[in-house]
């Protein structure tokens, strides 16, 4: 009996769904734009975002510049956002701001446009164009809406994006180090210190600068060794001053002593 009941409900559901699809097809072909608008809004509010988009696409131009047009544009953007199409969502959130700069959802649209770019930011080893775009948009949001409750979240997202950029730069610097491109490695680690002065990895970067200078000096021609050993000692002392209990001092101390001995 239970299986028959389940089968009966399934059949009824399919019949209702099929009837609904036929009705939607008729509505799409209907000349009644107001009915299409109401149907799209009803579908949106009931969570049927993909179906709602079909109706919004039909009437967006017709209602452009009106209150209904404002709602359609925002609902379109959010429908794409809810279906995880962040590229199109970002496009329509931007369009909403351009067309309705004083609209009631302008602030939300500005944040969500930036958030869509954030969500499209790829892994650190890939091209980071979208990451930079997201940072610019999030900073723009903070500048435009400094009192928004979403400012704290925007700053959190910016930090996450900057961490990704830092990781990419670190991976490049480490690759230079491992492949013996010592001057490029030193420059890259020094750039990391300059670009991310508050990084939690500052101690690590100082370690690599000192270690790389030592290896670089050892492998250099005699005319270049003095300068590079001096740089190594300087880098070691910087690490010692800033992190007197650093785990790296044990390894670097004897290297610094050898460098000092050479300089005498």
Q: How much is the pTM?
A: 0.85
pLDDT of residue 15: 36
Tokens of 139: 């900073």
Axis crossing angle, helix 182-195 with helix 151-178, rounded to the nearest 10: 170
> For the purposes of burial, counting CB atoms within 10 Å of the CB of 84, is it exposed (0-12), middle (13-18) or buried (19 or more)?
exposed
In the chain, where the domains are located: 180-264
Distance between CA atoms of residues 48 and 44, nearest Å: 5
Dump strand ranges (E) for the chain: none
Ramachandran class of 84: left when φ > 0, alpha when ψ lies in -120 to 50, beta otherwise: left
Instruction: Report which secondary-structure segment, H or E, holds 85.
Output: none
pLDDT of residue 22: 54
Q: Domain spanning 180-264 has what CATH number?
A: 1.20.58
Distance between CA atoms of residues 150 and 14, nearest Å: 43
What tens-digit pLDDT sequence spans the chain (264 residues)? 445 545 443 333 333 344 455 577 777 777 788 999 999 999 999 999 999 999 999 999 999 999 999 999 999 999 999 999 999 999 999 999 999 999 999 999 999 999 999 999 999 999 999 999 999 999 999 999 999 999 999 999 999 999 999 999 999 999 999 999 999 999 999 999 999 999 999 999 999 999 999 999 999 999 999 999 999 999 999 999 999 999 999 999 999 999 999 998
Q: Are 168 and 192 in contact (CB under 8 A)?
A: no
Distance between CA atoms of residues 48 and 64, nearest Å: 23
pLDDT of residue 13: 39
Q: From 36, 46, 90, select the one nearest 68 (Cα to Cα).
A: 36
b/e per residue, 195-208, with b = 16+ CB within 10 A?
ebeebebbebbbbb
Distance between CA atoms of residues 51 and 108, nearest Å: 23
Tally of CB atoms within 10 A around 21: 11
For 164-215, give the DSSP string.
HHHHHHHHHHHHHHHTT-HHHHHHHHHHHHHH-TT-TTHHHHHHHHHHHHHH
């Amino acid at each position: 009996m239970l299986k028959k009941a389940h089968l009966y409900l399934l059949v009824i559901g399919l019949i209702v769904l099929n009837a609904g699809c036929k009705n939607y097809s008729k509505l799409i072909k209907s000349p009644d734009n107001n009915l299409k608008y109401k149907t799209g809004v009803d579908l949106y509010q009931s969570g049927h975002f993909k179906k709602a988009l079909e109706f919004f696409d039909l009437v967006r131009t017709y209602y452009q510049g009106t209150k209904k047009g404002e709602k359609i544009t925002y609902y379109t953007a959010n429908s794409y956002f809810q279906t995880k199409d962040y590229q199109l969502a970002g496009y329509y959130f931007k369009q909403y701001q351009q067309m309705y700069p004083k609209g009631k959802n302008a602030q939300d649209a500005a944040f969500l446009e930036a958030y869509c770019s954030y969500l499209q930011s790829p892994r650190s080893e890939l091209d980071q164009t979208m990451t930079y775009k997201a940072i610019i948009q999030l900073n723009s949001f903070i500048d435009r809406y400094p009192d928004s409750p979403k400012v704290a979240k925007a700053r959190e997202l910016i930090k996450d994006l900057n961490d990704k950029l830092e990781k990419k730069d670190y991976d490049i610097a480490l690759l230079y180090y491992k492949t013996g491109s010592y001057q490029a490695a030193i420059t890259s680690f020094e750039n990391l210190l300059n670009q991310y002065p508050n990084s939690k990895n500052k101690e690590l970067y100082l370690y690599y600068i000192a270690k790389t200078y030592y290896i670089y000096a050892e492998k250099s021609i005699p005319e270049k060794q003095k300068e590079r050993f001096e740089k190594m000692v300087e880098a070691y002392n910087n690490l010692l001053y800033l992190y007197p209990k650093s785990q790296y001092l044990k390894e670097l101390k004897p290297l610094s002593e050898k460098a000092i001995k050479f300089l005498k």
